[in-house]
Chains A and B, each alone.
Chain A
Amino acid sequence: MKTIMLVCVAGMSTSLLVSKMQKAAEEQGIEANIFARSAQEIEFALEQNDVDVLLLGPQVRYMRKQIEEELKGKNIPIEAINMQDYGMMNGQKVLEQALQIIASK
């Protein structure tokens, strides 16, 4: 089971991307737990979940350094979502991105 966490401002727009990613995962028979949280909820969400990769929406990309500090020593890779894929709500592409990062961890 792969756990993928997406982060954006309110966790609202990104939840739509989450459902697209879940659908893509289901279609390919990939077992994945995908969810979206706001930047403020990261710490709490990490306590509750064993996260494999953390993906940032374009609107919180600038927080990367700060979040990296929070994740220090946790071995959770963090990457920005490609803005084109985000804009097109391309669940398949973002899922691929996440799985690639996990694979090269």
Chain B
Amino acid sequence: MTIDTNQYYELSFQIISNVGMAKSLAMEALYAAKEGNFEVVEEKLSESKKFYVEGHKMHASLIQKEASGEKLDFSLMLMHAEDQLMNVDTITLLVTEMIEMYKRFK
């Protein structure tokens, strides 16, 4: 069964929505660290991770389809979703390190 444009859009939007939440929560964790509010930091980071994993799962399901030989059409919206997925990966990595720095400056 091939994926039509509508399904692509639905999946893309769900990826964007989930990784978007992950990004916002990671940034909110960093802001909390800036204020020295480290309990909130941990909450935000673990919540962020949950959303990231959800988005990642949706993306992985598409990769698996293609890897199993299914031909998928190109979609700019999906590319946009991947763009944000990658972005969150980088942001989270750096935010986690920056939070460690805030902890040391305490």
Interface residues of A (CB under 8 A from B): 8-10, 12-13, 16-17, 57-62, 65, 83-84, 86-89
Contact = CB atoms under 8 A, between A and B. Distances in A.
Top 6 nearest A-B pairs by Cβ distance?
A59-B20, A87-B17, A62-B27, A58-B20, A61-B24, A62-B24
A59 B10 contact: no
Interface residues of B, number: 23
Contacts of B27: 62
B14 A87 contact: yes
Given A9-B84, A88-B14, 16 more contacts: A13-B80, A13-B81, A16-B77, A17-B13, A59-B20, A61-B21, A61-B28, A62-B24, A62-B27, A83-B20, A83-B21, A84-B17, A87-B13, A87-B14, A87-B16, A87-B17
Contacts, number: 64
B24 A88 contact: no
Interface string B1-25: 0000000011011101111110111
B38 interface: no
15 contacts: A12-B80, A16-B13, A57-B16, A58-B16, A58-B17, A58-B24, A59-B16, A59-B19, A60-B24, A61-B20, A83-B17, A86-B13, A87-B14, A87-B16, A88-B13
